[in-house]
Amino acid sequence: MFFRIMDRSRMPDLVRGLAAEYEVIGPIAKDGKFVFGKVEDPSDLRLDYDTTLLPPKKLFFPPEEQMMRFRVADNEVVDDEVYAAPRVVFGLHSCDINGLLLMDNVFMRDYEDPYYRARRESTLLVGVSCTSSETCFCNAWGTDEVHWGFDIFLTDLGDRYFVSVQSVKGAELLDRHVESREITSEDTEEFQSVTAAFKDSFSETLDTSQLPLLLDAKFNSPMWDELGDRCLSCGACSMVCPTCYCFDVVDRLAPDQKSGARERRWDSCQFGEFAAVAHGQNFRESRASRVKYRYYHKQWGYLSKFERVLCVGCGRCQRACLAGISPREVVKALETGGVQ
Amino acid sequence: MAPRVVVIGLASDFGCQVQMTNIEDHLLEVLGLIDLTYWQLASSGHMPDEYDVAIVEGAATTQEHLDLLRRVRETAGVVIAIGSCAVTGGISAIANAAGIEEGFALVYGERGRVALGRVAPASVVSVIDVDYIVPGCPIDTDEFLHVLSRALHGLRDKTPRQPMCFACKTRENVCFFEKGQLCLGVVTRSGCHARCVTLGRPCTGCRGIAPEANLPAARIVFEDHGFDAERALSYISLYNTNEEVVL
């Protein structure tokens, strides 16, 4: 990794330069909130955004996707090849870059997902520093920092950006499209103080010590029933989660019933049918067991395999949950023994 | 032999049968799979005595409708209820919300003439067992084709059972509750791709209460956002008078 300084006024040059070679996707305004969408003009880009409605996972693992087509008469199968246009996702916060790294473990490590990989490999990531909001708790998991997995990361120093360059591609782009200069010791000091101020800006620091142990110790706690009573079973939390990767696979026949397509769609462990199997059995029929499962999987199951929890503290699920269930509340309840 | 299919309309605006004609791109392909022996909207003949599949739109509002439905259930191997009126009572059964007599007087006044054998409006689903449903006002043509396909292949009903907020999230809509508006998506059966809400109109619940909805929890959500249970229930009653909804 190496570092450069870019003047704030150069930002439109960088975006325009990237747009000449890539499709540029970044946070843009929608109905008073923000979404990752196509940046037509540098002025569309809203780097002052707090968070987006959906996380960037939608760009790599779309909510609905056709995987293959088949012919009924002879079982002929045609796989759908993903054509992924070269693109740059510009303005990712560190939580979301960490979220993608957690998704990579699932889609590109033990099991190869060609649809995900094609999009992932054709996409460059440009990160940007952020300020904490009321629903953020990335500081609980250390995902307020990101050390790898991006091409360029821009830390806002006011009149200029402290640019961390991580990939050769990132270096080339910076070199080709924007004027930048070498860092000085003052720049590095300011970078350190900005980073420290960011870390101090969180309203609280969650105690996550012994979390997996507590999950096991409190497996039969009434807190899960209380959460189950509140849960709306709507699956909003899973949809907006940057690390929820479950999908349902559906075969659909064309109207003439002679051919069909296999599709996958985002699924949620909060749906009643999620753990239903043949013969009408259901491993998690109660809402309480499903809410519990969500936390067990994220803070224990994934951890036991990949040594990280499957949460980046972005707070989207808390914002999306009409019943106000949040991982922060659940972690606190595990630590203290009750849901508020 | 292609299955013999009849399409029957009870009390409704026939909007769902019109939706069937809107499958124009695929209608001929579908007709190639079945033997459509009677289609109330499009045929002038009489309904045959024997058939394999009955597709029923509308709510029962007369004794004749009730008798017909029982006969249909005895005759058809497969019954598919389509549209809100047939599945949850829909607009046809809205009179039940105020009481049928009061509702009748309000709409038709004193000089209104009562249909012979009038009964309180009832969804098809509340009168007979059905094998498949296609909820919604009106039905979605894609969903109808999908259900018909499953019925023809003898696959079980797979209508989504969960409420629709998840679908709304995938469309990146801002929640109506955040804008101070009441939206029934939180209790309404999904499967509509959150179409209305994506077009800027809160959900009015035309697909019925989701079997997986958590109604007591939804009541708290409604109340927390300034809508008491009575108001929410009156909104729900637009399409859902055939089963008692308790928040």
Residue A322 to residue B146, Cβ atoms within 8 A: no
Q: Which of A10, A31, A169 is nearest to A88 (CA)?
A: A169
Beta-sheet pairing, A160-165 with A152-156: antiparallel
Distance of CA A246 to the CA centre of its chain: 13
Q: What percent of chain B has pLDDT over 90?
A: 79
- Mean pLDDT calculated for residue range B20-30: 88
Residue given tokens 């890539």 in the structure block: A22
Q: What are the chain A neighbours of B162 within 8 Å (beta carbons)?
A: 233-235, 268, 270-273
Residue given tokens 């693109």 in the structure block: A87
Among A47-51, A335-339, B106-110, B122-126, the minimum mean pLDDT is found in: A335-339
Looking at domain B4-152, which of 3.90.1300.10, 3.40.30.10, 3.30.70.360, 3.40.50.700 is its CATH number? 3.40.50.700
Residues 224-283 in A contacting B (C-alpha not used; CB under 8 Å): 229-236, 238-240, 252-257, 266, 268, 270-273
Residue B212 to residue A272, Cβ atoms within 8 A: yes
Q: What are the chain A neighbours of B33 within 8 Å (beta carbons)?
A: 256-257
- Phi/psi of residue A221, nearest 5 degrees: -65, 140
Residue B163 to residue A320, Cβ atoms within 8 A: no
Token code pair at residue B239: 């399409």
Q: Each residue of B79-96: pLDDT tens digit? A: 999 999 999 999 999 888
Mutate to test the interface with B, among A33, A61, A232 (most CBs of B within 10 A): A232
The upper half-sphere exposure of residue A123, i.e. CA atoms within 13 Å in the direction of its Cβ, equals 26
**Closest partner residue to B149 among A30, A239, A253, by Cβ?**
A253
* A322 has a chain B CB within 8 A of its CB: yes
Beta bridge partner(s), residue B134: B82
Q: Which residues contact A275 (CB under 8 A, 6 or more apart)?
A: A269, A282, A283, A284, A290, A293
**Closest partner residue to A234 among B29, B163, B173, by Cβ?**
B163
Domains of chain B, residue spans: 4-152, 165-236
| DSSP, residue by residue, A140-176 | GTTTT---SS-SEEEEE-SSEEEEEE-SHHHHHHHHH
* CA distance, residue A317 to nearest chain B CA (Å): 11
Residue A240 to residue B169, Cβ atoms within 8 A: yes
Which residue in chain A has the smallest CA separation from B152?
A: A257
Token code pair at residue A226: 């209380």
**A291 pLDDT more than 90:** yes
Q: Each residue of A17-69: pLDDT tens digit? A: 999 999 999 999 999 999 999 999 999 999 999 999 999 999 999 999 999 99
Q: Which residues contact A210 (CB under 8 A, 6 or more apart)?
A: none
Q: Each residue of A275-287: pLDDT tens digit? A: 999 888 999 999 9
* CA distance, residue A131 to nearest chain B CA (Å): 22
* A31 has a chain B CB within 8 A of its CB: yes
Residue type, B32: G
Q: Each residue of A235-278: pLDDT tens digit? A: 999 999 999 999 999 999 999 999 999 999 999 999 999 999 98
Mutate to test the interface with B, among A54, A230, A238, A322 (most CBs of B within 10 A): A322
* A33 has a chain B CB within 8 A of its CB: yes
**B150 pLDDT more than 90:** yes
Distance (Å, whole) CA B46 – CA B40: 9
Q: What are the chain A neighbours of B170 within 8 Å (beta carbons)?
A: 54, 58, 63-64, 239, 266
Token code pair at residue B169: 């999230």
pLDDT reported for residue B1? 82
Mutate to test the interface with B, among A229, A233, A316 (most CBs of B within 10 A): A233
pLDDT reported for residue A101? 98
Residue A340: pLDDT band (50, 70, 90) is low
**Closest partner residue to B214 among A33, A233, A235, by Cβ?**
A233
Q: Each residue of A206-225: pLDDT tens digit? A: 988 889 999 999 999 999 99
Which residue in chain B has the smallest CA separation from A33?
A: B174
**Closest partner residue to B186 among A232, A240, A252, by Cβ?**
A232
pLDDT reported for residue A339? 67
Q: What are the chain B neighbours of A27 within 8 Å (beta carbons)?
A: none
Distance (Å, whole) CA B101 – CA B117: 14
Which residue in chain A has the smallest CA separation from B33?
A: A256
Residue B212 to residue A233, Cβ atoms within 8 A: yes
- Mean pLDDT calculated for residue range A138-147: 95
Q: In sequence order, which ranges of chain A are alpha helices (DSSP H)? A: 11-21, 94-108, 114-121, 168-177, 185-200, 211-217, 223-230, 236-240, 287-296, 302-306, 316-320, 327-336
Residue A256 to residue B29, Cβ atoms within 8 A: yes
pLDDT reported for residue B159? 95
8 A C-beta contact, residue B149 and residue B156: no
CA angle B223, B227, B232 (to 5 degrees): 105
pLDDT reported for residue A280? 85
* CA distance, residue B148 to nearest chain A CA (Å): 9
Average pLDDT, chain B: 94
Among A125-129, A302-306, B22-26, B79-83, the minimum mean pLDDT is found in: B22-26
Residue B29 to residue A238, Cβ atoms within 8 A: no
Distance (Å, whole) CA A326 – CA A315: 8
- Mean pLDDT calculated for residue range B157-165: 95
Which residue in chain B has the smallest CA separation from A266?
A: B170
Residue A234 to residue B164, Cβ atoms within 8 A: yes
Task: Collect all residues from B whose CB is shorter than 8 A from any CB in A.
Answer: 23, 26, 29-30, 32-33, 145-146, 149, 152-153, 161-166, 168-170, 172-175, 177, 186, 211-214, 216-218, 220-221
Q: Each residue of B167-204: pLDDT tens digit? A: 999 999 999 999 999 999 999 999 999 999 999 999 99
pLDDT reported for residue B45? 83
